[in-house]
Structure 1
Amino acid sequence: LGETPLALQYPTLYRIVHRRDALVATIMQATPLNIQFRRVLVGNRWEAWLHLVRRLMDVQLQHQPDQLCWKLTRSGHFTVKSMYIDVI
């Protein structure tokens, strides 16, 4: 869901989720979503959760291996030169 990890997009939810290492695919396998929080979702947390669930409703996961894409090159492949240029 974008270029930023969900933990950074929804920090208030990430801080209170039971299993921070859970995969999105595992959570989405069940209805309702297979996720538990250490605190009650009220106020801003509830709104953040609803926002996330609305976004997840449009996601269709496929049984394919994950692929890495290096954003610093047009080809998507890692090069030391691209990393060096970015660091400088």
Structure 2
Amino acid sequence: MTLHIIGGKWKGIIIDILSNNSVRFNELKRLIPGISQRMLTLQLRELEADGIVKRKVENTIPKKVEYSLTEQGEKLSPIIASMRIWGIQYMG
């Protein structure tokens, strides 16, 4: 079940970035080189549907949308951090 939720190329990276703080969509896109706007939107929607990410919209002009981890998402942070550390050691 866990791999279904965090599997794929981008979800772990998104969760890792959001583990530090709330991030706006364009900033998130900038922090993930190579991800398209469409793919980022899709991944965020899937993570939101799974209860990992929450989306906060402020009705300003232009609209301000921030993404952050839910309580369940925060529980995934140590797992993702461990995977990142393992990957760095493996590649190093």
Q: TM-score range by the shorter chain?
A: 0.3 to 0.5
**Whose helix proportion is higher, 1 or 2?**
2
Instruction: Find the structure with the greater CA-based Rg.
Output: 1
Specify which structure has the bigger relative contact order, considering alpha-carbon pairs within 8 angstroms and separated by 6 or more residues: 2
Q: TM-score, normalised by structure 2?
A: 0.33
Q: TM-score, normalised by structure 1?
A: 0.34
